[in-house]
């Protein structure tokens, strides 16, 4: 086998979106590389570093982890990505996985973005693997509120959590709009609505997997407020995020139940429509059978004289009653008698 090719990773700074040092809630420096950021952070007490990385290579992230003392298990999760939302604590460093979302109405799909957040005593390191969430907007918002940013890394964590949860609102609105449309289509009898319900249910389930763990994450943060001395004002901010996250989770749970009910209702309506069609076909078949019986009855009645007439129409020399004077009246009487007898029988059976 050919030996595995060694891929040279770009420098650790190649995927740095932004790096800033903050003191008193204001940016004091924007280091040109991560090494300088770390050195200046160590040399300036009371300073916080906020560094954003976008899709870093494994070697890049390992370099950053070594500088900031990140736990190898957390770094491994950040490298692999596609993790479930979670909160883990490694010593004095928090590690969070969050999933942002946006709704593409044309496709009726929820697109997710994943962000990994390392929160230390004096730094915040974010690793994004998608365009969402827009952490640049979060940084801009926080820098415009120095009083909040001065509360340290947990304030940055609040800003990220708040942006992720607020980003769920358009998704909720989009899902609600499509569910309303589906309800209309169900009662309209649209044959394609079943597939649409099934596909939208899948999107809601995936969205639920992204939002439901947030309650545990925020609960875990709240459980450590007293132990780790979280600022009282930040507690209020994080409690507000928890309220919004709870509302989102409840709405998503409601969507899932609503779609399940709509799917059941649609199946019931389809079944009723099928039963109505079967009933209509049964009635039509019964009416057709009645007509066939009438036709068959009259055919039998008319066929009886034909048989008699056919027999007496045979011009054989040695045919009984051929020269009998009463033969003609007898044949006619026989035809009428047989016809009346058949008519009486069919009439009693309801064929006529």
Encode pLDDT of 14-50 as tens digits.
577 888 899 988 999 888 778 888 888 888 888 999 9
Residues 180-202 have pLDDT tens digits of 998 888 888 777 888 888 888 89
Residue range 292-348, CATH number: 1.20.58
Evaluate whether the domain defined by 11-144 bears CATH number 3.30.460.20. Answer: yes
Q: What pLDDT is recorded for position 315? A: 61
- Average pLDDT of the chain? 83
Residues 94, 88: Cα–Cα separation, whole Å: 6
3-state secondary structure 219-257: HHHHHCCCCCCCCHHHHHHHHHHHHHHHHHHHHHHHHHH
Q: What is the pTM of this model?
A: 0.74
Residues 172-193, buried b or exposed e (16+ Cβ, 10 A)? bebbeebbeebbebbeeeeeeb
Q: Where are the domains of the chain?
A: 11-144, 292-348
Q: Is 210 left (phi over 0), alpha (psi -120 to 50) or beta?
A: alpha
Mapping DSSP onto H, E and C, the string for the chain reads: CCCCCCCCCCCHHHHEEEEEEEECCEEEECCCCHHHHHHHHHHCCCCEEEEEEECCCHHHHHHHHHHHCCCHHHHHHHHHCCCCCEEEEECCEEEEEEEEEEEECCCCEEEEEEEEEEECCCEEEEEECCCCCCHHHHHHHHHCCHHHHCCCHHHHHHHHHHHHHHCHHHHHHHHHHHHHHHHHHHHHCCCCHHHHHHHHHHHHHHHHHHHHHHHHHHHHHHHCCCCCCCCHHHHHHHHHHHHHHHHHHHHHHHHHHHHHHHHHHHHHHHHHHHHHHHHHHHHHHHHHHHHHHHHHHHHHHHHHHHHHHHHHCCCCCCCCCCCCCCHHHHHHHHHHHHHHHHHHHHHHCCCC
- Reported as a single tens digit per residue, the pLDDT across 290-342 is 778 777 777 777 777 777 777 666 665 656 666 666 666 777 777 778 778 87
Hey, how many other C-beta atoms are within 10 angstroms of the C-beta on 140?
10
């Amino acid at each position: 086998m050919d030996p595995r090719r060694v891929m040279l990773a770009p420098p650790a700074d190649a995927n740095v979106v932004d790096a800033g040092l903050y003191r008193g809630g204001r940016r004091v420096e924007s280091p040109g590389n991560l090494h300088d950021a770390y050195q200046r952070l160590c040399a300036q007490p009371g300073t916080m570093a906020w560094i954003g990385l976008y899709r870093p290579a494994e070697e890049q992230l390992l370099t950053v982890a070594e500088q900031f003392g990140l736990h190898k298990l957390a770094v491994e999760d950040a490298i692999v990505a596609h993790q479930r939302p979670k909160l883990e604590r490694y010593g004095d460093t928090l590690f969070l996985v969050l999933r942002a979302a946006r709704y593409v109405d044309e496709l009726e799909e929820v697109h997710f973005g994943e962000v990994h957040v390392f929160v230390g005593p004096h730094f915040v390191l974010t690793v994004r693997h998608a365009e969402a969430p827009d952490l640049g907007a979060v940084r801009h918002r926080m820098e415009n509120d120095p009083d909040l940013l001065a509360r340290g890394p947990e304030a940055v964590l609040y800003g990220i959590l708040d942006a992720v949860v607020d980003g769920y609102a358009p998704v909720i609105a989009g899902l609600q709009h499509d569910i309303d449309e589906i309800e209309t289509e169900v009662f309209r009898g649209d044959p394609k609505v079943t597939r649409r319900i099934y596909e939208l249910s899948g999107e809601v389930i995936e969205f639920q997997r992204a939002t439901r763990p947030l309650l545990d994450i925020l609960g875990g943060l709240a459980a450590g407020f007293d132990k780790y001395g979280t600022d009282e004002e930040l507690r209020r901010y994080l409690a507000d995020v928890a309220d919004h996250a709870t509302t989102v989770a409840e709405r998503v749970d409601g969507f899932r139940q609503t779609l399940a009910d709509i799917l059941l209702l649609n199946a019931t309506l389809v079944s009723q429509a099928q039963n109505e069609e079967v009933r209509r076909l049964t009635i039509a078949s019964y009416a057709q059978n009645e007509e066939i019986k009438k036709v068959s009855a009259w055919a039998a009645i008319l066929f009886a004289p034909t048989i008699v007439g056919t027999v007496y129409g045979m011009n054989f020399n040695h045919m009984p009653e051929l020269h009998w004077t009463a033969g003609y009246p007898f044949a006619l009487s026989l035809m009428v008698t047989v016809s009346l007898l058949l008519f009486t029988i069919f009439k009693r059976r309801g064929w006529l």
